[in-house]
Amino acid sequence: MSKKQLYTLEYKVRCSPTILFEFLSTPSGLQEWFADKVDEWEGELSFAWSGGTPDKATIVSMEQDKYVRFRWTHAPKDEYFEFKIAKTEISNQTILIIADFAEKADIKDQTQLWDYQVKELLHRLGS
């Protein structure tokens, strides 16, 4: 089995970091765009898609309006997925930076999946 590698994606978002952070860090916000159903129980989030078996993740670290890092409970300890909020210096544009791990051969497919998910997020934000 080959080791997964970290990759990052960036998306321009037309909304405040505070509003964006709510969509990235709360079960109700994540349920708007990331998964069909999101529940939280004792610090563990349960994500379900299309009625399938839920996948569980924990929040590893978080800073209000800056970033939230999750780790799938089945993943190795050094793998995570992260939503980071940045601002460009010149235009003060809000940027969503997604960091995730995938097999090198799967990065293109994973990128397309994130593109689809973020398109749904932007639609929900009216961005």
Quick one: which H or E segment has residue 8? Answer: strand 5-13
pLDDT (tens digit per residue) in 21-58? 999 999 999 999 999 999 999 889 999 999 789 999 99
- Position 22 scores a pLDDT of 97
Quick one: pLDDT at residue 100?
98
Cβ within 8 Å of residue 110, ≥6 positions away: 7, 100, 102
Report pLDDT for 29: 97
Q: Is the pLDDT of residue 63 over 70?
A: yes
Instruction: Kindly list the structural domains of the chain, giving each domain's residue range(s) and its CATH number in brackets, ordered by start.
Output: 5-125 (3.30.530.20)
pLDDT, one tens digit per residue, over 64-121 is 999 999 999 999 999 999 999 999 888 889 999 999 999 999 999 999 999 999 999 9
The pLDDT value recorded for residue 2 is 57
3-state secondary structure 31-88: HHHCCCEEEEECCEEEEECCCCCCEEEEEEEEECCCEEEEEECCCCCCCCEEEEEEEC
**14 Cβ contact list (under 8 Å, min separation 6):** 94, 125, 127
Instruction: Please give the model's pTM, rounded to 2 decimal places.
Output: 0.93
pLDDT at 1 over 80: no
Q: How does pLDDT run across 48-58, given as a tens digit for each residue?
A: 999 789 999 99
97 closest CA partner among 73, 114, 74, 77: 114
What is the C-alpha separation between 35 and 47, in angstroms, rounded?
Answer: 6
Separation CA 87–CA 13 (nearest Å):
10
